[in-house]
Chain A
Amino acid sequence: MATQQHHTGPEETSVGNRLVQPIDRRLFLRYSGLTACATGLLLAGCDDDDDDDMATDAVKLGSGDIGVLNYAYALEQLEAAFYAQVVATPYSGITTDERTIMQAIAKHEAVHRDFFKAALANNAIKGLTPDFSKVNFNDRTSVLTTARTFEDLGVAAYNGAGPLLQSTAFLTLAGKIVSVEARHAAMIRDLISNGSFANDVVNAQGLDQALPVADVLAAAQPFIKDKIDGSQVGR
């Protein structure tokens, strides 16, 4: 049985009201169809994955565009918490430029986090509890390689989630953020090894990574104490 997850069209939300994105009637009908799928009223043709074994206390990101935005919000919370810690307890031997860069990135991620929280309003998931027990914040390599993981993952997450968004306004907003994450990724990579800004994450066709929600959450989950349920994101 499909999860009883009520699908909320963006036009009904505070985000939608703020962004004023007129919804095409055809798209609205498709939304309605998706709602029917999500609520199990229509079984034929619905391909939702059931996640019966998901812990009941998991943080549900939600469905449709709201789910995508909460997905981004979860990742931004993780990044913001990480850089806040880096700034609070800088690694030994940090240079002046490195400190400036870390402080700036910490601000950017906090802005992203607070933006999603404000935009999602009462649709926002709760504040997550990070788990950075595997990170040695006193060690430059540990900090920078973790930062690289988060930034590359963020880029891949936004690139993969863009096509899931129904609202053009949300798509543009995600685009405004992903390029900043890519700028971060390039700088962190260059701090690790100058010139590695576009190394293994960019393939022979000159394409950055794009990952599905499940893959991104699997990679992020070890750094978050709360169990995240993204099974309905974009659906």
Chain B
Amino acid sequence: MLRLMLRIRRFEEKLAELFKRGKLPGFVHLYIGEEAVAVGACSALREDDRITSTHRGHGHVIAKGADVSRMMAELLGKEAGYCRGKGGSMHTVDFSLGIMGTNGIVGGGIPIAVGSAWGDRQLGRDTVTVSFFGDGASNQGVFFEGMNLAAIWKLPVIFLCENNGYTEWTPTEKLTAGRISDRGVPFGIPSVQVDGNDVISVHEAVSEAVGRARAGEGPSLIEARTYRWHGHNEGEEAFSGPYRPEEEIEEWKGKDPITTFAARLVEQGVFAREEIERVDAEEKERIEDAVRFAVESAYPDPEEALMHLFYDERPRLQQEVNR
């Protein structure tokens, strides 16, 4: 878990750097500070379980097992990327790992996750789908509609709300009535709020929900309270102005999910500090390799822009990418 959290952190830090240097096409939303949610949740899943993700989705995708080299290649618009350069940050997909996509529409993944759970159930599988979404999405109609459908059909889906305190540039409490974790209650959905900076708490809550889902007992709602260290998107300073108190940012940095978990592991004698440093160094190296791989990869042939519109009419298959 610690290794995966470090991988996400180093990946995102590298993206921030690439963005600053103007090396990253488009715009990007970073996950730094929220790593415990993705890792705590995905570590409770099997490889054949599925997730839907958000615009801030790199952490979910890495935690679900995605290869950072192919992610980096996708983010640079290269042919070796997960989507051959067609998706980018907000549309990273790997169906073989159950990653049904990050998503550029707030709340857009919720109905897809509900449907994935319905499909699995109907086909007699015991797989589970986790829908990651933010506090902002908790005000979208599809959240309520999705909970209703999942509850009446008893679907194995987990609604996992990452409440990072800000809906884009506005404090969540100014836009969201009551507690998000209370919103499952009227639907009869077991609902809890957990410390989203504590990877173990997240893992335990998700494991419990997964157990219920696999047993055919239906959906769960988990609200994980956390905080994003970076802005809504990189480069927002250019237009957003300051909107979060410095002390608040510092306070949450003090609750860093990675350093607190690492300290706990050292304290309990699970790992020596040097071991953790070695793991971190390995992950930094992995990210450097990913950047090298992505930079050296070719851009897709521009004609590829006209491919893949319809599934049966594609001249080249995804297998080529997977190999």
Q: Do A and B bind?
A: no
| B residues whose Cβ falls under 8 Å from a Cβ of A | none
